[in-house]
Amino acid sequence: MKKHLFFLFLIVTFFCIACGDKAQINKATDAIDSSQQKFKWKMVTTWPANFPIFQEGAERFADVVRKMSNNRLDINVYAGGELVPALQVFDAVSQGTVEMGHGSPYYWAGTIPEAQFFSSVPFGMTAKGMNAWLYNGGGLLLWQEMYQPFNLKVFPMGNTGVQMGGWFKKKINSIEDIKGLRMRIPGLGGKVFKKAGGNPVLMAGSEIYTALERGTIDATEWVAPFHDMRLGLDRTAKYYYYPGWHEPGTVFELMINNSKWELLPADLQKIVEVTAGAISEWIYAQMEFHNQEALAKLRKKQNVEILQYPDDVLAKLKSLTKQTLDEEAAKLMNENSNSRFKQVYDAYESFRASYELWGDLSDKAYQESLKLE
């Protein structure tokens, strides 16, 4: 390979000398140098070591990039806590401590509140709608704009699909049953839950099982059947509610330090971008496949009841979601002069309203037709 490149260089150089074009000689030299250059990067994630699908997806990404680049871009992947704490991934990539990170945007709500819209919004868009907004509706361009001050490049890389509504030790018959309830529920969903009278609790996934078993919390959300069963939640609470109103399609992100990104040749940049998209689809497909299998197992368990939230509870939570988002936008504007949250909120809502019309005529109408006898 090196011999071929050397002879190519000689041919191009000879041609350029014959034409007297020094600029072309420099350009040819740079192109060959960049094709030989190798990069050894680190990626840190927010996921536990060996965490199926999520951490697995990050490692799969690194492996595909390594193979497609012929080892020119070699990425070592570290789970949460192995190199940096899980919730410090954003800062580590932003500051250039590592080159890449994988997680979900709502983890950084304390630093960049508007990032939550690129992750998941209660009663918001599912994976299909989010993909349409991000890739074609200007969402990704807006996301890049919001991350630019932090020296970050970002691409979508995963989606959970619609999640479940959580595990409860007692039935939820009305909105009154939420009042005083201690539930592990993060992000915007947690703020809505608090407005409904509940007590949202923040805790790492590794702490959930013990907290629910010992009664430190009364309820918890996690992900969906596959990951919930692996955590053992079906052994700690009886009532399993749906739908996951708080996270209808949580997007994962690939963050890249922008200064390091700009050092990559164009072909390696394209390999990273395309592979991120492929892994995003792989993660979503894995979630859909494993969740349907896990649900079938859950339905056979005598100690678990799978229940739908009452309509009036969902209606109340939905109305409280709009109140929460409006208040959050006003609060950030008044206290921090942050207009970015409102900017992203408006863009998200504008696309969601338009997409909902199509969704009603396509997926929703089709699903309703399947119920006909």
Predicted local distance difference test score (pLDDT) of residue 22 = 52
Task: Answer whether residue 369 is part of any domain.
Answer: no
Q: Tell me the average pLDDT of the chain.
A: 91
Q: How far apart are CA 237 and CA 307, in angstroms?
A: 13
3/117 same-domain check? no
86/223 same-domain check? no
CATH number of domain containing 113: 3.40.190.170
Q: What pLDDT, in 10s, does the model give residues 223-243?
A: 999 999 999 999 999 999 999
63/140 same-domain check? yes
121/69 same-domain check? yes
Task: Answer whether residue 360 is part of any domain.
Answer: no
Task: Answer whether residue 195 is part of any domain.
Answer: yes
C-alpha atoms less than 13 angstroms from C-alpha of 341 in its C-beta half-sphere: 24
75/131 same-domain check? yes
61/92 same-domain check? yes
Task: Answer whether residue 346 is part of any domain.
Answer: no
Omega before 156 cis (within 30°)? no
Task: Answer whether residue 68 is part of any domain.
Answer: yes
Q: What pLDDT, in 10s, does the model give residues 16-54?
A: 434 555 555 454 445 445 568 999 999 999 998 999 999
CA gyration radius for the chain?
24
121/189 same-domain check? no
**Strand, helix or coil at 1?**
coil
277/207 same-domain check? no
143/271 same-domain check? yes
Predicted local distance difference test score (pLDDT) of residue 186 = 87
144/177 same-domain check? no
* Containing structural domain, residue 106: 37-159+250-289
Q: How far apart are CA 310 and CA 272, in angstroms?
A: 44
CATH number of domain containing 332: 3.40.190.10
Q: How far apart are CA 314 and CA 101, in angstroms?
A: 35
Give me 236's structure tokens.
Answer: 């700690």
Q: How far apart are CA 102 and CA 58, in angstroms?
A: 7
Task: Answer whether residue 345 is part of any domain.
Answer: no
Q: How far apart are CA 80 and CA 90, in angstroms?
A: 12
Residue ranges in the chain modelled with pLDDT below 70: 1-35
Contact predicate 252/159, CB 8 Å = yes
Say how many domains are in the chain: 3
Task: Answer whether residue 348 is part of any domain.
Answer: no
Specify the DSSP element, H or E, that contains 102: strand 100-103
194/117 same-domain check? no
50/9 same-domain check? no
Specify the DSSP element, H or E, that contains 45: strand 39-45
